[in-house]
Amino acid sequence: MIQTVEMTDIGNGRPSNQDAYLMKKEKFQGRQCLLAAVCDGMGGLRRGEIASRYIIELLKQWFDEKLPGFVKRKNIDVIRKDLVNLIKKANDNLLLMSEDTDETMGSTLTLLFALGKQFFVLNVGDSRAYWFEQGRKYVTTDHTLAQLEVKAGHMTREQARKDPRRHILIQCVGVTKDIKIDCYRGRMEPGMEFLLCTDGFYGMLEEEEIYHVESGQKEMKQWVEQCFQKVKERGELDNLSCIMIKVP
């Protein structure tokens, strides 16, 4: 059985928690389905909180109401396309909501969907998904100005970790009309692990501190709690959230 740990914290310097997350597991026709997502809201006052929770609520409704019909077709690409369309719909709706209030509201989104032995990750913004397979680590690409500079060869990844432009998003849900949604695909293998997290979680951690946890659910929870404690002690002011998923 797939093991999961989810945790969020308001952090040291925010009046409210603008992060939101979703963790859904269900068996349909004998096939394990999983949907996990983290969102980091942005906007004035409580607008970011509204945006992140709106996206999570849309995903929850989709899982409960639409997914059973898709599973019958046994085609994960159809599911991926429908989720991409759902994210674009959320983007359009948040833009309309911003027009009504004259206040921009948006959110990052990192999503993992698995059906049987297949999975995909969708990403917009600078929340991340890490996944570990046979000692190898994979991670989504941030949609930030600093990452653009890395891609252009103007700075190293290590320099980007300290550059103030690492906080300037070039993509997120709800701010621009046309959004680019990154997609990563793979197969679920025994022992694989996934970590979805907002930038408040990973921002104060060194790359080598984010690793595959060879343990059970109790140890997974302890590792997450220790990471939360570390980043808060190191002065992280942002909200922090993560979901850890281990394949048996």
Tell me, what's the pLDDT at 245? Answer: 97
What's the rounded Cα separation, in Å, for the pair 53 and 106? 11
Per-position b or e across 62-86, b if 16+ CB within 10 A of its CB: bbeeebeebbeeeebeebbeebeeb
Tell me, what's the pLDDT at 17? Answer: 95
pLDDT(44) > 80: no
CA separation, residue 147 to residues 70, 128, 160, 195 (Å): 35, 13, 7, 20
pLDDT(135) > 90: no
Tell me, what's the pLDDT at 45? Answer: 58
User: Which one-letter DSSP state was computed for residue 164?
Assistant: G
**In angstroms, how far is the first alpha carbon of the chain from the final one?**
6
- Please, which pLDDT band fits residue 1 given cuts at 50, 70 and 90? confident
Q: What does the block give as tokens for 196?
A: 């979805």
CA separation, residue 208 to residues 112, 144, 158, 198, 205 (Å): 23, 22, 13, 17, 8
Q: What's the pLDDT tens digit per position in 56-104?
A: 999 999 999 999 888 877 789 999 999 999 999 999 999 999 887 778 8
Longest dimension (CA), the chain: 51
Tell me, what's the pLDDT at 7? Answer: 97
Q: What's the pLDDT tens digit per position in 149-201?
A: 888 989 888 888 888 888 899 999 999 998 999 999 999 999 999 999 999 99
Question: Alpha helix (H) ranges present in 72-184?
Answer: 76-101, 145-151, 157-162
The predicted model scores a pTM of 0.95
